[in-house]
Structure 1
Amino acid sequence: MAPFALPPLPAVGTAWGPSTTEASTKGLSFEDAPFAPFSKSDKLGKLADWSQESGRDGRDQRGGRQGGRNHRDPYQAYGASTVSNFQFQNEDDESSFSVVDSRSAATKPRGGSGFGQGRGGLILRSQGGGRGGARGFNARGGNQSMRGGFQRYGGRGGNDSQRGGQRGGQRGGAAGGRRFGWKDYDKPQRLRDSSVVIAPEWKMLDEIDFIRLAKLSLDIKEGADIDTYGFTYYYDKSLDRPGASSEWKLQVIDALLYNPTTSDDPVIQQLAAKNEGTVFATDSILSMLMCSPRSVYPWDIVVTREGDKLFFDKRDGSPLDFVSVNENAVEPPVESADGKESINSPSSLALEATFINHNFAEQAVIESAKAKHEFAHPNPFYNPEEETEPLASRGYRYRKFNLSAQDEEEPLNLIVRTEVDGAIKNPTGEDSFITIKALNEFDTRAPGAGGALDWRSKFSSQRGAVVATEMKNNSCKLARWTVQSILAGAEQMKLGFVSRANPKDKSRHVVLGVVGYKPREFANQMNFSVANGWGIARSIIDMCMALPEGKYVIVKDPNKPVIRLYDVPKDAFDQPEKEDE
């Protein structure tokens, strides 16, 4: 590298400027150097003057732009055109850069049409200048309802093209005249509690986000029945006829239903002792694993590794025992801020939906002691010597699925206890099985309704729109029901639409109609991949099979799309036996 040397500098005897004599003798020349003309009245040091304070965008305190035409500073008028010779030239093109002001400018509506903000609401005017004027709707207070966005459009020759523009902006008037979406960033974050308390001694082993789970896939064959238990009544086909009554009352039927966990099932205990399978679960638990990327509410699953066997269980009072409502809505139901119990809170709605599903499944079948489908064995959980209430229509099919890939030599058998709710006769005269579920409507104006349509007025005329809205607001619940129907080998899945008789009363309900779907076709309509569900189940099973013997817990984070695997003590979740008084 060549050495760096400073050029010779002349000695300056005066306080200002170089000496021309010394500069010429030393070989220095100031020819062709940029020079700004100045007058005797110019201020010294004007090229680097920090004495004046400038305002925003280069404006001084007097409001004018520095160097502007109207600036009356005599020291900047002379030689202003040559100052650019000493300015820094940026090579980047900054002409496209601009500062965007996020403040909305207040504009006045022009002409006889448009939207205007009224006293706490909206003033809606119809477009057009026909006779009769514009009969708008003025929401002056927060208690007036717009019932779906707009109520009236008037004026002869008016145009109703604005009908979808601000639809639902003041739905129910619950916002008190607040515009939809206004200051949504300032709303408090909804923090949910975990379904299980994470103890300090628990050790987190792994954390998986839903993005990774959504990329998995595994194609397996149809399952085979190992054994069957229980009985089912035949489905009442009169509920499907188009001429059925518009609505009928949902009856409360006293019948026994059993849903024990995997380890408490005596049939699964026998199958595990015979080495019929390696992994054991119920359809409710397995469907939650397969549909976990769609879940929002917290849940947990207990995993027990015993030898080469793996058991997936649920806790007593687990969220898996209840049916969620509007879990996937943009604004799902929330608990009341004042701590008071509300009939539209998530916990109250879950209890109500579970109650509706149990009663609707019994009402949708024809109870008959002679006309029913008997399985190979009676109900394994019912003891006639101790129970006096009748059994509900429920059949249990224990099925085996091979989760091993084609290139694997050793099979990985999964035993699942599946459930069916009813039976129907095929055209050939053989019995096929169905699952019966119910969707419930609580209050279209309450928070957390998810923009649902009024079922009483729209179900018969806009059934597709009602179903599409439920697919959006209850994506996880419907996906789980579809998976349970596929696991059970059900030919159809019957969905009942149940609404409250009075939106303020959660104890009385009416059935508005029943719609039947084939499970796999319904899964395609929901854009749910069964292969992705099997891929998730196989990945979690492989992760648990690689662990030593012990007890583990899979916990869904209450506020993030993440599941975590914890190592817990063997006595975790064991309830101490209460001594009889």
Structure 2
Amino acid sequence: MAADAPSFVLPTMQDNPDGSWGPSTSAIPTQYKDIPYAPYSKSDKIGRFADWNEIEARGNTRDGGAAAGGRQNRRYREGPAAYGAGGPSAFSYTHAEDDASFSLVDNKGAPPKRGGPGGFRGGRGGANRNQPGQRGGPPGRGGAQRGGYAGGRGGARDYIGRGGMRLGRRGWRDWEKPGRSRESSIPIGPTWNLLEEMDYARLGKLRLDVDQSATLDTYGKLHAYDRLYDRVTTKSERPLQIGNKIRYYSTTSDDPVIQEYASKDAATVFATDAIISLLMCASRSVYPWDLIVNREGNKLFFDKRDGGGFDTISVNENAADPPMEKESKDDINNPADLALEATYVNHNFSFQVVKEEQQLEFDHPNPFYGPEETDPLASCGYRYRTFDMSVNEEEDVKLCLRTEVDAFIPSQQSNKNDLVSIKTLFEFDSRAQGAGGAPDWRTKLDSQRGAVMATEMKNNSFKLSRWTVQAILAGAESMKIGFISRASPRDNSRHVILGTATMRPTDFAAQLNMSMANGWGIVRTITDLCLKQPEGKYILVKDPNKPVIRLYAVPDSALTGEDGEEDEEVEIDVIEEE
């Protein structure tokens, strides 16, 4: 029996001299030395040898896909995986064959796709969660995307119905529309040097509180706002008259007052309210734009480019389905023509709604109106103001800004007059492509003005935010927004005034979710980037198809010569046409 008794020999205990957990290098057998080892911690607990839930999520897709997906999402909500779980594993099975070479022979027909075209699975809020118009999403997101699916709670019902192929009222055949590939506002030269690239996500995180401001001087003359236009309704509409007055939109470097302040070292950065408001609201812009930055000594001058279309007003830029480019010669609803028409309407409205018999003269006359001019001067006042953008007491970074106001309202209780900024919203055709789902103003403006304004805030978020920021920078007490529509949808030469809304700039900024602190942070960040560069000329360019802003260093000879002269002539022709 002693010979048949089983023998038991204790295994050799491997001691790791390094003190770490796991096998030592010398103790690893030769046949296992090339196999990687996934480390783990002593405190880790082994919960299970096999994750059957994950196996089910991977394999059972016919009848348990939704449940398995829920379990898989729950795993991500529980927190990060254990230490060493992401290490390489030689024991993972990888199928080396090409699955595309196999096919399943089945006589059954393919099940119908649920959702809209392309196989999207519809849910609450729209046909696809990444499409614009999502319930609860920020206004203006996805304005440059091709899709135009109906948003809101009922958006999915427009696509999912009996048979799974019911099509909704909007977004019909959106997948067949051509891509919105826009061209840059300025051609990028081969000698331009890319210095910085900023995306909208980065701009949205910037913050700077600027509280200190002072008014250096005032120039120009204002007319009183006519309160009769506050009582205009769709039933008592008024035709929009064509004005012949002069108004100047000079850039920063062409302003003699700013040049005088620059010679006295009144500030470090010089610009206009139109340029600074563009930078503050840059993360809402969709269409391309560009700005010129000149570094002279320790000073920065932000300028617009001649003939660049900077002063034109876009229409439905942030809409989910913005106006398309010109498809035929008779198409008057393309972005370029609509921008010129909206600019024309905005100028004439500001000329019409003021009373010339009541005037408010500022401390100095208009600096751009020469003695050789014969046409009457429009109501416009310039307030040159400084804003302290310094982060601490050791630095001195001030912004000298030329701000504009359009009219004033006489105050009956005190001697102080309220300054007014006058702007317009434009309706071309509520049933045309690019209208952004706006209701017909002639039937809804009087009874549902809130809904009309909400739609305009969504479709024109960038434009309205810029106007609001300009009013705040100028210190205007109120904004007058006129609702202008075509007399006939197919005639872009005659317009009517359907109503007027009054807004407080600070309250309207809160409704637009516009943060002045974020805007000042963007301006200060761009200022710091330019101040770090040597003296020279730089250009800020908004990418035409991506939410990205780029800063280029360009030669001093850029944008001058024959090209610049041609651009200047184009701008003069546009002004004469208006």
TM norm. shorter chain > 0.5: yes
Across the aligned residues of Structure 1 and Structure 2, the Cα RMSD in angstroms comes to: 2.7
1:402 is displaced (CA, Å) by 0.6
Contact 2:268–2:299 (Cα < 8 Å) also in 1 = yes
Contact 2:233–2:499 (Cα < 8 Å) also in 1 = no
Residue 390 of structure 1 corresponds to which residue in structure 2?
Answer: 376
Give deviations 1:376-423, integer Å, cap 9, x for gaps: 111111112x21110000011111111112x23222110011100001
Matches within 5 A, 1:96-111: 96=57, 97-99=60-62, 103-104=112-113
Q: Distance in 1 between matches of 2:216 and 2:253?
A: 18
Give deviations 1:439-493, integer Å, cap 9, x for gaps: 0000011111000000000000000000000000000000000000001000001
Please state if 1:414 is matched with 2:399: yes
Supply the AA of the counterpart residue of 1:367: E
1:364 is displaced (CA, Å) by 1.1
Greater Cα offset, 521-530 or 94-103: 94-103
Q: Distance in 1 between matches of 2:111 and 2:287?
A: 35
1:291 is displaced (CA, Å) by 0.3
3-state DSSP of counterpart to 1:301: strand
Pick the aligned partner of 2:390 from 390, 394, 404. Answer: 404
Pick the aligned partner of 2:421 from 435, 439, 447. Answer: 435
Q: Distance in 2 between matches of 1:551 and 1:390?
A: 37
Supply the AA of the counterpart residue of 2:240: L
Assess, with a 3 A threshold, how the Cα gap between structure 1 residues 341 and 536 changes in structure 2: closer, same or farther: farther
Contact 1:551–1:569 (Cα < 8 Å) also in 2 = yes
Greater Cα offset, 477-486 or 269-278: 269-278
Pick the aligned partner of 2:287 from 297, 308, 312. Answer: 297
| Higher RCO by CA contacts (8 Å cutoff, separation 6 or greater) | 2
1:181 is displaced (CA, Å) by 4.0
Assess, with a 3 A threshold, how the Cα gap between structure 1 residues 201 and 428 changes in structure 2: closer, same or farther: same
Residue 508 of structure 2 corresponds to which residue in structure 1?
Answer: 522
Q: Distance in 2 between matches of 1:437 and 1:292?
A: 20
Give deviations 1:352-392, integer Å, cap 9, x for gaps: 00000100001111112xx20000111111112x2111000
Contact 1:335–1:342 (Cα < 8 Å) also in 2 = no
Assess, with a 3 A threshold, how the Cα gap between structure 1 residues 165 and 274 changes in structure 2: closer, same or farther: same
Supply the AA of the counterpart residue of 1:499: S
Contact 1:210–1:562 (Cα < 8 Å) also in 2 = yes
Q: Percent identity?
A: 55
3-state DSSP of counterpart to 1:435: strand
Pairs aligned (count): 430
Residue 249 of structure 1 corresponds to which residue in structure 2?
Answer: 239
Q: Distance in 2 between matches of 1:395 and 1:278?
A: 24
Assess, with a 3 A threshold, how the Cα gap between structure 1 residues 244 and 563 changes in structure 2: closer, same or farther: closer
1:262 is displaced (CA, Å) by 0.4
Q: Distance in 1 between matches of 2:390 and 2:555?
A: 30
1:429 is displaced (CA, Å) by 3.2
3-state DSSP of counterpart to 1:497: strand
Pick the aligned partner of 1:500 from 486, 510, 521. Answer: 486
Supply the AA of the counterpart residue of 2:476: A
Q: Distance in 1 between matches of 2:362 and 2:28?
A: 97
Give deviations 1:185-213, integer Å, cap 9, x for gaps: 55432100100010111111110001000
Q: Distance in 1 between matches of 2:399 and 2:437?
A: 40
3-state DSSP of counterpart to 2:231: coil
3-state DSSP of counterpart to 1:240: helix
Residue 323 of structure 1 corresponds to which residue in structure 2?
Answer: 313
Assess, with a 3 A threshold, how the Cα gap between structure 1 residues 179 and 360 changes in structure 2: closer, same or farther: closer
3-state DSSP of counterpart to 2:400: strand
Choose 1 or 2 for highest CA Rg: 1
Assess, with a 3 A threshold, how the Cα gap between structure 1 residues 578 and 409 changes in structure 2: closer, same or farther: closer
Assess, with a 3 A threshold, how the Cα gap between structure 1 residues 503 and 282 changes in structure 2: closer, same or farther: same
1:281 is displaced (CA, Å) by 0.3
Assess, with a 3 A threshold, how the Cα gap between structure 1 residues 4 and 229 changes in structure 2: closer, same or farther: closer
Supply the AA of the counterpart residue of 2:254: D
Pick the aligned partner of 2:454 from 460, 464, 468. Answer: 468
Pick the aligned partner of 1:509 from 495, 500, 525. Answer: 495
Matches within 5 A, 1:39-438: 92-93=52-53, 94-96=55-57, 97-99=60-62, 103-104=112-113, 180-181=170-171, 184-185=174-175, 187-241=177-231, 246-338=236-328, 340=329, 342-368=331-357, 371-384=358-371, 386-405=372-391, 407-426=392-411, 427-438=413-424
Contact 2:231–2:499 (Cα < 8 Å) also in 1 = no
